[in-house]
Amino acid sequence: MQLLKTILSDTLHLLYPHICTGCGSDLLDEDNLLCLRCITDLPSTQFAKHANNPIEKIFWGRIPIVAAHSEFYFAKESLIQHLVHQLKYKGNQEIGIYLGALMGKSLLDSNRFRMIDYLVPLPLYPDKERKRGFNQAAVICNGMSHIMNVPVLTGNITRDRFTETQTKKHRRERWENVADSFIVTDKAQLQGKNVLLVDDVITTGATFEACGQAMLDAAEIKLHIAALAVATR
């Protein structure tokens, strides 16, 4: 039976080579997506455990947050850029779940993200999500959810572009490059909750800020932020 299993596994391996999503090497365990070398090469930040880390500093003087984290450094032409590209543009949701699980483990290991009630994926514009077929932030949340045992909250917060009249009304904000509007549908659901807002990549933090502010305006929440990778400029 074991022999048959081995033969079957070897045959399947030939037919459908199981290769590393990072480098294409076939030297990896059957149930893993990355080879050992790529796993070792992932540029972890270790921010989760540290108060006043660079992600938290992004939001100083902008919105009140309890804690923030980014799991990896994002550099151009890097392994992590390749993996995020696989997720967003090649529809490889499996790698998003995998990386989300890695981030979930870091957050669990830190005692600064223990009380989270909801994981909230930063919403995409509805037309963009329709086109892509999924929201990459929600995929990452699903990977985190398994590890952290915290539910993913989708649908309560929606994202829209300002209409023309709104654009006029919000001219100043637009000038500050905040062209997003986020709408919270069920405010009561968020009331008093520890919320972890999640996205794939953080750069200036403007989108996190806009979405976080909409939630803070809607309900008394304790806002936490997590991005899979931080792009330093």
Report the interface residues with Zn ion, using CB under 5 A.
20, 22-23, 25, 35, 38
Kindly tell me which of 35 and 83 has the beta carbon lying closer to Zn ion.
35
Residue 152 DSSP code: B
Kindly tell me which of 41 and 56 has the beta carbon lying closer to Zn ion.
41
Write down the least CB distance from residue 23 to Zn ion, Å.
3
Kindly tell me which of 38 and 230 has the beta carbon lying closer to Zn ion.
38
- How does DSSP assign 14-66, residue by residue? HHS----TTT--S-S-TT-SS-HHHHHHS-B---TT-TT-HHHHHTTTTS--S
134: which 2 tokens?
């999924």
Write down the least CB distance from residue 36 to Zn ion, Å.
8
- Cβ atoms of 48 and 225 within 8 Å: the answer is no
Kindly tell me which of 62 and 90 has the beta carbon lying closer to Zn ion.
90
Write down the least CB distance from residue 189 to Zn ion, Å.
41
Which segments of 103-193 are extended strands (E)? 118-121, 157-161, 180-184
Write down the least CB distance from residue 30 to Zn ion, Å.
15
First to last CA, the chain: 56
